[in-house]
Amino acid sequence: MFFQIESSCPRTGARTGLLNTPHGSIRTPVFMPLATQGSVKALDPGDLKAIGAAMLLGNAYHLYLRPGMEVIRTFGGLHRFMGWEGPLLTDSGGFQVFSLGHMRRVSDEGVLFRSHIDGSEHFLTPELSIEIQETLGADIIMAFDECAPFEADPPAIREAMERTHRWAERSLRRHTRNDQALFGIVQGGTSAELRTESAEILKAMDFPGYAIGGLSVGEPKGLMYAISKHTAAMLPPDKPRYLMGVGSPEDLVECISHGIDMFDCALPTRTARNGGLLTPKGRINIRNARFKNEEGPVDPDCDCYTCRTFSAAYVHHLFRCEELLAYRLTTIHNLRFVIRLMDRIRAAITDGTFPEFKEHFMATYRPTDEEVRSTQKRKWREGREDRESEEDEWRA
């Protein structure tokens, strides 16, 4: 059995479950750190085990360009290449072709684009995306989709959605490995009507799991929540639901209450590399002078390696000096924060106290609203989480 629901919140849509994959079982809701290019930025597999990461997310677009499928085949897949024995999910590359590729020409057949790395020309189709993902060998793979920008007009959003449905069918047809679960991706922008239509059409194709794509690309947070809630409710209750690209702490708590089971997001890791550290009260910036002489850890309640071992003053110093260790220590902290938050959420759902947990969390955690919104607004144009794979983003 691929997915089993273990408990449900009687007062919200939240539920806990078990996702069974060839590389192990994962408790849901789950947050998946990004290993876009086969490495969670600044961490090694030992760090990831230590912080309790259950499942990582690789990317077909990036890994197809570098190191390329010949290398991945030599290693029999991404797991052995990157030294990660746990479950993996790969994204189809659809989002990245549109956000990172240059000189795109989109047709029903596929997308002609130039690599963001060397300008080389490639033609990505649903069939090729699935072939790449079969070579990568992740436990869960994604249908090839077209994600319309937030600014797109209604006809363009419909066109991208309908193409996504045709590509979903082709992805399904091409998929042969029965040790991989292929998920469909719901599109439809911020229109509840289109989301309903998209969910219905994809449900009929009977995927083992469903993702909600095309959110967190610049729309206001309230609208993202509304569409996430609406779409989650349209999806089969017995199958896992994956909200793509979402994952600030407050978004996780909110969207779990809609019945979302899986998340990925660059926010905790990218923010960490910019000195933004997650704490129970909200995000702090470790570069701030108030940490210069702070003997205590970044967060006294945190059990991560960084907080157990180093003072906030030392982490502050490493950041001020741009020492490479800084990025590893803060990434460990932020991922541990998010993973522990997920642990607590699952415990609260199981105990039947999730609504109280959510209320308490929302009352004590101060989201960095303005920042998040303006960042998200820039996200689409700048290429969302994939920008982080480019040369200088980690310094930005």
From the CB of 317, what's the least distance to its own copies, in Å?
Answer: 5
Residue among 137 and 249 whose Cβ is closer to its own copies? 137
Alpha-carbon gap, residue 189 to 195, rounded angstroms = 7
Q: What does the DSSP 8-state code read for residue 53?
A: -
CB 333 within 8 A of CB 306: yes
The rounded radius of gyration (Å) of the Cα atoms in the chain is 20
Among positions 319-378, residues that touch its own copies (CB under 8 A) are: 320-325, 327-329
Signed CA dihedral, 211, 29, 382, 217: sign only: positive
Stretch that binds its own copies, among 120-128, 139-147, 174-182, 317-325 (CB under 8 A): 317-325
Structure tokens at 119: 């300008």
- Binding of its own copies at residue 396 (CB under 8 A)? no
**Size of interface with its own copies, in residues (CB under 8 A):** 40
CB 157 within 8 A of CB 188: yes
Of 8, 16, 21, 37, the one binding its own copies by CB under 8 A: 37
CB 141 within 8 A of CB 126: no
Residue among 107 and 293 whose Cβ is closer to its own copies? 293
Site map for its own copies, 273-292, x if CB under 8 A? Answer: -------------------x
From the CB of 68, what's the least distance to its own copies, in Å?
Answer: 8
- Binding of its own copies at residue 318 (CB under 8 A)? yes
b/e sequence 161-178, b meaning 16+ C-beta within 10 Å: bbbbbebbebbbebbeee
Within 10 Å of residue 18's Cβ, how many Cβ atoms?
14
Of 25, 107, 288, 293, the one binding its own copies by CB under 8 A: 293
Of 9, 19, 34, 43, the one binding its own copies by CB under 8 A: 43
Phi-psi region of 355 (alpha: psi -120 to 50; beta: other; left: phi over 0): alpha
From the CB of 202, what's the least distance to its own copies, in Å?
Answer: 33
Catalytic residue among 47, 261, 264, 386: 264
Of 19, 26, 42, 348, the one binding its own copies by CB under 8 A: 42
Phi, psi values for residue 383, rounded to 5°: 100, 25
Residue 301 designated active-site = no
Residue 351 designated active-site = no
From the CB of 120, what's the least distance to its own copies, in Å?
Answer: 14
- Binding of its own copies at residue 387 (CB under 8 A)? no
Among positions 118-157, residues that touch its own copies (CB under 8 A) are: none
From the CB of 45, what's the least distance to its own copies, in Å?
Answer: 8
Phi, psi values for residue 276, rounded to 5°: -85, 120
Alpha-carbon gap, residue 354 to 49, rounded angstroms = 27
Residues 6+ apart with CB under 8 A from 312: 286, 291, 294, 295, 296, 297, 298
- Binding of its own copies at residue 69 (CB under 8 A)? no
- Binding of its own copies at residue 70 (CB under 8 A)? yes
Please identify every residue annotated as catalytic.
Answer: 91, 264
Residues that bind its own copies (CB under 8 A): 37-39, 41-45, 66-67, 70-71, 74-75, 81-83, 292-293, 295, 309-311, 313-314, 316-318, 320-325, 327-329, 389, 391, 394
